[in-house]
Chains A and B, each alone.
Chain A
């Protein structure tokens, strides 16, 4: 059985080390926060906050307290606020240990595309380009194939890049792939997924 969204998030949470400051993207990466367990992890929200708490109880929403997805959130006893220049200073400066984010495409050389489909949707890159260029380690969590069943792990990205050669590890419903100089290395397979199935679902070169 391939992993479901929550199992992928739980697997991604295994990547986190005690004491780390981490940025989680929108979608499945947001679920990672539910699986950090006893580890001391501080979540950064790039709009200007370290120590992001859960959603507020109904009636407690504060328009001055949102995450980078513009959702209402809460603070913790450890929370610190700062402006956007300082926020991206700590990202660009390599102080954030890891970013876990979603993707439209990842290539075998670590290229990442997750911000733009030419001629279609033009929303913008937000902070994604800064994050992948700046943080210590970039982990992508996504479905292995798109809705048409085509691989999202490619030899080369077809969409405009968010970053070139930036991805370290890819966690999908089928398992975990590492980006190496030689190609993609299977680090782990989801229960019941065979190496052959992983290779068949992956356009990029598996070594």
Chain B
């Protein structure tokens, strides 16, 4: 079964439809599926819901789909870096469901693991708990959170083999594995597709069973906040 496609638009062919739920990997602008997001923009898919920790910045990441009004709703933990997001949200054009970051990650992981819901202490006594089932275990109160199963997952990895085994690099792993796991279909973009034997089976971060289509491409990998320290004088 061929998993490797030539371009992002080919890899998404037949997978996009209006009103769909997409789970996207990435944290800030780190490890985001930038090529697939651009292809979704070009495809013009409308009324999309994105489960993604952040919403990118105005002109990069999911931000490019906000500019084109393709996103109806975001499920995110933090959206502070995006002025267009704020404008659309405050004017009521864009729906927003805040999830605590760990709850969002676990909702994705659970959804991919066939777990429809789980109890967590996170958010008990806050607005996040409103309307959710509460249950006490061993004297502590927990709330019920639902697993997420997305119509499509889009993720970014460092390397893949042609069977879809993925290796991530440093903190660019972040939400990519749980996002990949929770999709009915997962498309991964990578910096390099390598021969099978060059990936050590003990070092695979996400097995190819979760990955259905793969593309290789050039990534901008933009830095959101460049912080440095001074070199000491020799």
In contact, A129 and B28 (Cβ under 8 angstroms)? no
Cα A71 to Cα B122 with chains together (Å): 25
Q: Is A2 an interface residue (CB 8 A)?
A: no
> Number of B residues contacting the other chain (C-beta, 8 Å)?
58
Q: Which of B8-16, B43-51, B64-72, B222-230 contacts A (4 or more CB under 8 A)?
A: B222-230
Given A88-B105, A125-B77, are A56 and B53 neighbors across the interface (CB < 8 Å)? Answer: no
Is B209 in contact with chain A by the CB < 8 A criterion?
no
Cβ A124 vs Cβ B77 within 8 A: yes
Query: Of B131-139, B170-178, B193-201, B210-218, which binds chain A?
Result: B170-178
Q: For residue A70, which residues in chain B have a CB less than 8 angstroms away from its CB?
A: 27-30, 81, 224-225
- Which residue of chain A has the shortest Cβ distance to B102 in the bound complex? A88
- Pairwise interchain contact B102-A130, C-beta atoms closer than 8 A: yes
Instruction: Give the contacts of A37-60 with B (CB-CB under 8 A).
Output: 45-49, 54-58, 60
The answer to whether A83 touches B176, judged by C-beta atoms less than 8 angstroms apart, is yes
Known: A47-B30, A47-B174. A129 touches B228 (CB 8 A): no
Complexed CA–CA distance, A126 and B102 (Å): 8
- Whether A127 contacts B101 by the Cβ 8 Å rule is yes
Q: Are A63's CB and B98's CB within 8 A?
A: no
Within the complex, which residue of B96, B122, B228 is in contact with A134, where a contact is CB–CB below 8 Å?
B122
Q: How far is the CB of A65 from chain B (nearest CB, A)?
A: 5
- A63 to B191 CA separation, bound complex (whole angstroms): 13
A64 partner, pick from B123, B124, B172, beta carbons under 8 A: B172
A84 & B175 in contact (Cβ 8 Å cutoff): yes
The answer on a CB contact under 8 Å between B76 and A124 is yes
Complex Cα distance, B231 from A54, in Å, reads: 12
B100 and A125 within 8 A (CB): yes
B114-153: CB near A (< 8 Å → 1, else 0) gives 0000001111111110000000000000000000000000
Q: Of residues 91 to 138 in A, which have CB atoms within 8 Å of B's CB atoms? A: 91-92, 111, 121-130, 133-134
Given contacts A129-B128, A133-B122, contact A124 B98 (CB under 8 A): yes
List chain A residues, Cβ under 8 A from B29: 63, 70
Given A58-B231, A63-B30, A129-B128 in contact, is the A85-B225 Cβ separation under 8 Å?
A: no
Judge if B169 is at the interface, Cβ distance under 8 Å. Answer: yes
> In the complex, how many angstroms separate the beta carbon of B67 from the nearest chain A beta carbon?
19
A64-B158, A71-B227 known, 18 other contacts, Cβ within 8 Å: A60-B228, A61-B228, A63-B29, A66-B28, A69-B225, A72-B228, A75-B170, A83-B105, A83-B175, A84-B105, A87-B105, A122-B89, A123-B79, A125-B101, A129-B100, A130-B122, A160-B127, A164-B124
